[in-house]
Chain A
């Protein structure tokens, strides 16, 4: 009966009965053994790098590496323009937008007054132990100076090595062709 006291209709389901062959289990045991034997020879083949249908899809890291897509968000890095000039003007927008506060910039002023840029980062540090690879820095940058590059293997033995300084950031970022060229135009 349900909550209102009405009679509930029921249907009796009959369990399937196993046949004699199934109850002996012999066929199933042989089937399992065959599978094991197939995999045994499959792995044996893997040792000699034979690509067979049965081998695992495991990537042989570090000999084999993943091919990252263009929109992959790896470690943030700084880029230079095609003339080898620093694009970052130390506006600190990335530092402001960075959710885990991984970025720290110490701005400085150029000694000369003949360029439009006036300002550059004296020190630029990204703490990769804090970075969450969100890409907000790249999005916020008004000078297109910081990008998330295809770099995901950050392994160090010292904690201080995880703090990427300006040298490391430019080494990772390299050169990026640009048409804005703030150094030359207004």
Chain B
């Protein structure tokens, strides 16, 4: 279907694309229709009945999710009949609700709470004993199920069937005894199973990992990108007290729809690791940044005649890689490599490159680490250790007289600088399909930590007094765009929260 149709929503005339359902069409008129079972990326089930609207000319109320707009249609999302119907639906859904909001992780982002306030009557007329169903049922080591809170919307059933391709959950029994069950031994196996926790509009499905860690209203949310693989799924990171507590997907139709894999979602323990390096080490002893920078400068200057080996990390942002490139240009370093951790991918989201920015490193002139490293002796090594998945071979490390290493954990080196993780800095990465995406700073693990870009720029400025490093991420992007043709015309604003395709980079990934 194509073109647009003219409809009237609550007396307001709007033109909407043909083929939309009434929930989506109402958004064009600035109206929101409540819904539980409807999800834009799943098939329509039409079982929650909260989205009832009155269509002019039709006697009975219709569900908005399963009705498509037609030319000249007029419907009401907020008149007395509709409000009364919604109140009735809310009363039905809440009849057997356990009201354990104080111990429910969903509280604060629960559609039952929101719609009960917005559309509910506020009282119950039900005088009989409530139906008891199984609570705190383990669906494996990731998902916990509470049948009493479940409103049987079947979003989880449809997701596992339609998106994940593993139909493992279904409805069992009928009427008030109706409950969700998992096939076989009652444990989920899908690598995308935790998406059903986000999909669940109520607190029936909760995350074993996040369970009782924090109420949602205490958390600070940051829109960023997952860095577990090159896909770059858009995420929202929840943190409290400068520690990451959870990661959930953020909708981006061009990258990850509304999903992300369980591995990426649970892959943040290294950020919260209390044994991380937070201050530089010089010859195995803690040292302030000024001392470490002085020592690093002396090493780089002393090694000029003997050659320097530079190994970047694909966990670095483009701006950091560019700052490194500028420094290496200044020093005249020829041997520039990066290490690329790889693994297995799948058809849905997981990418075989287990790092966020290998493409960015390649675009900025770093070569993928060769199988056979050059058998030269070097005066110095400048090495950014990948967070995990790959490491420089021992003999290459030993080939350099002096070593400057950036690492999450302390390593044996002349100077060891701490690394910052993806959630501790602003920057950009090039995800799969040459898509430029933004990382946003959400926490600062330790106030003492300085990002790699600052360290590189300060190192550069100590070697060259004329170096004027950029301050903010936006300035760094502008500097990068001006210097590298692949990033031509890119600005921090233009990338936006959803990222942009890097047309100038050319080749598809």
Residues in A lying within 8 Å of B, measured CB to CB: 89-93, 95-96, 107-109, 113, 116-119, 142-143, 186
Partner of A107, one of B98, B107, B132, B212: B212
Cβ A186 vs Cβ B98 within 8 A: yes
**Cβ B136 vs Cβ A113 within 8 A:** yes
Question: Please, which residues of chain A bring their CB within 8 A of the CB of B215?
Answer: 91-92, 96
18 more CB-based (< 8 A) A-B contacts, given A91-B101, A116-B135: A89-B102, A91-B102, A91-B215, A92-B215, A95-B218, A96-B215, A96-B218, A108-B212, A113-B135, A113-B138, A116-B100, A118-B103, A119-B103, A119-B212, A142-B101, A143-B102, A186-B130, A186-B132
Shortest B150–chain A CB gap in Å is 15
What residues of B have a CB within 8 angstroms of the CB of A93 in the complex?
102
Interface presence of B217 (CB below 8 A): yes
Q: Nearest chain A CB to B307's CB is how many angstroms away?
A: 53
B168 part of interface (Cβ distance < 8 Å): no
Contact check: which of B99, B212, B218 meets A109 at CB < 8 Å? B212
A118/B136 contact (C-beta < 8 A), A108-B212, A186-B130 known: yes
Q: Which residue of A lies closest to B102 (CB)?
A: A91
For residue B310, give the distance in angstroms from its CB to the closest CB of chain A.
Answer: 45
A108 vs B132: C-alpha distance when bound (angstroms): 24
Which B residues lie at the A interface, using CB under 8 A?
98-103, 107, 130, 132, 135-136, 138, 148, 211-213, 215, 217-218
Chain B residues whose C-beta falls within 8 Å of the C-beta of A117 in the assembled complex: 103
Counting chain A CB atoms within 10 Å of each CB, the highest count among B100, B103, B130, B215 belongs to B103
Q: Which A residues are CB-close (under 8 A) to B213?
A: 107
Enumerate chain A residues within 8 angstroms of B107, measured Cβ to Cβ: 91
A109 to B135, CA, bound (A): 14
Q: A113 — which chain B residues lie within 8 A by C-beta?
A: 135-136, 138
Which residue of chain B is the closest to A118 with respect to CB atoms?
Answer: B103
Please give, as numbers and ranges, the residues of chain A lying within 8 Å of B148 by CB-CB distance.
186
Q: Are B132 and A142 in contact, with the CB atoms below 8 A?
A: no
Whether the Cβ atoms of A91 and B103 lie closer than 8 Å is yes
Write the chain A residue with the least CB distance to B132.
Answer: A186
What is the CA–CA distance of A90 and B107 in the complex, to the nearest angstrom? 13
Q: Which residues of B contact A108 (CB under 8 A)?
A: 212
B175, chain A: closest CB distance, angstroms: 18
Contact of A89 among B99, B103, B135, B138 (CB under 8 A): B103
Using CB atoms, name the residue of chain B closest to A122: B212
Q: Note all chain A residues with C-beta closer than 8 A to B136.
A: 113, 118
CA distance A143 to B138 in the complex (A): 26
Contacts of B101 in A (CB 8 A): 91, 142
Q: Give chain B nearest CB distance to A77 CB in angstroms.
A: 19
Residue in A closest to B107 when the chains form the complex, CB atoms:
A91
**A64 CA to B130 CA in the complex, in Å?**
53
B382 to chain A, nearest CB (A): 42
Given the complex, which residues of A lie within 8 Å of B130, measured CB to CB? 186
Which of B101, B138, B215, B218 has its CB near the most chain A CB atoms (within 10 A)?
B215
23 contacts between A and B (CB under 8 A): A89-B102, A90-B103, A90-B212, A91-B103, A92-B218, A93-B102, A95-B218, A96-B215, A96-B218, A107-B212, A108-B212, A109-B212, A113-B135, A116-B98, A116-B100, A116-B135, A117-B103, A118-B103, A119-B103, A142-B101, A143-B102, A186-B130, A186-B148
State in angstroms the CA–CA spacing of A89 and B107 once bound together.
14
Report the separation of the CA atoms of residues A108 and B212 in the bound assembly, to the nearest whole angstrom.
Answer: 7
Residues of B near A109 (CB, < 8 A) are 211-212
Interfacial chain A residues near B138, Cβ < 8 Å: 113
A119 and B214 CA atoms in complex are apart in Å by: 12
Q: How far is the CB of A40 from chain B (nearest CB, A)?
A: 64
What are the 3 closest A-B residue pairs judged by CB atoms, nearest first? Answer: A91-B102, A113-B136, A119-B103
Contacts of B99 in A (CB 8 A): 186
Task: Provide the bound-state CA to CA distance between A108 and B213, in Å.
Answer: 8
Chain A residues, Cβ within 8 Å of B100: 116
**A143 partner residues in chain B, CB cutoff 8 A:** 102
Given A96-B217, A113-B136, A186-B130; A142-B102 close (CB under 8 Å): yes
Distance (whole angstroms) from the CB of B55 to the closest CB of chain A: 39
Q: Once the chains are docked, how many angstroms separate the CA of A93 from the CA of B217?
A: 10
* Distance A91 CA – B106 CA, assembled complex (angstroms): 12
Give chain A nearest CB distance to B337 CB in angstroms.
Answer: 45
Kindly list chain B residues whose C-beta atoms are within 8 Å of the C-beta of A119.
103, 212
List of A residues within 8 angstroms of B103 by Cβ:
89-91, 117-119
Complex: how many Å from CA A89 to CA B101? 11
- Name the residue on B nearest A145 (C-beta): B102
Question: What's the least CB distance linking B116 to chain A, in Å?
Answer: 15
Q: How far is B148's CA from A118's CA once the two chains are assembled, in angstroms? A: 14
B323, chain A: closest CB distance, angstroms: 39
Task: List chain B residues, Cβ under 8 A from A142.
Answer: 101-102
Considering only CB atoms, which chain B residue lies closest to A142 in the complex?
Answer: B102
Report the minimal beta-carbon distance from B127 to chain A, rounded to whole angstroms: 14
CA distance A143 to B103 in the complex (A): 11
A residues in contact with B102, CB < 8 Å: 89, 91, 93, 142-143
User: In whole angstroms, how far apart are the Cα atoms of A93 and B104 in the complex?
Assistant: 12
Q: Which residue of B lies closest to A112 (CB)?
A: B136
Q: In the assembly, what is the distance between CA of A109 and CA of B211, in Å?
A: 8
Shortest Cβ distance from A148 into chain B, in angstroms? 20
A109 to B100, CA, bound (A): 15
A57 to chain B, nearest CB (A): 47
Chain B residues whose CB sits within 8 angstroms of the CB of A186 once the complex forms:
98-99, 130, 132, 148
* B98 (CB) vs chain A CBs: closest residue: A186
Shortest beta-carbon distance, B255 to chain A, in Å? Answer: 34
Q: How far is the CA of A118 from the CA of B145 in the complex (A)?
A: 13
Bound: A91/B100 CA distance, A: 10
Which residues does chain A contribute within 8 Å of B212, judged by CB atoms?
Answer: 90, 107-109, 119
Complex Cα gap A90–B211 (Å) = 12
- For B218, what are the chain A residues with a Cβ–Cβ distance below 8 Å? 92, 95-96
Q: How near does chain B come to A15, taking the closest CB pair, in angstroms?
A: 71
**Distance from A100 Cβ to chain B, minimum over Cβ atoms (Å):** 16
User: How far is it, in angstroms, between the C-alpha of A108 and the C-alpha of B136 when the chains are bound?
Assistant: 14
Residues of B within 8 A of A92 (CB): 215, 218
**Chain A residue with Cβ nearest B134:** A113
Determine the distance from Cα of A96 to Cα of B101 in the docked complex, in whole angstroms: 15
Please name the residue on chain A nearest to B96 by beta carbon: A186
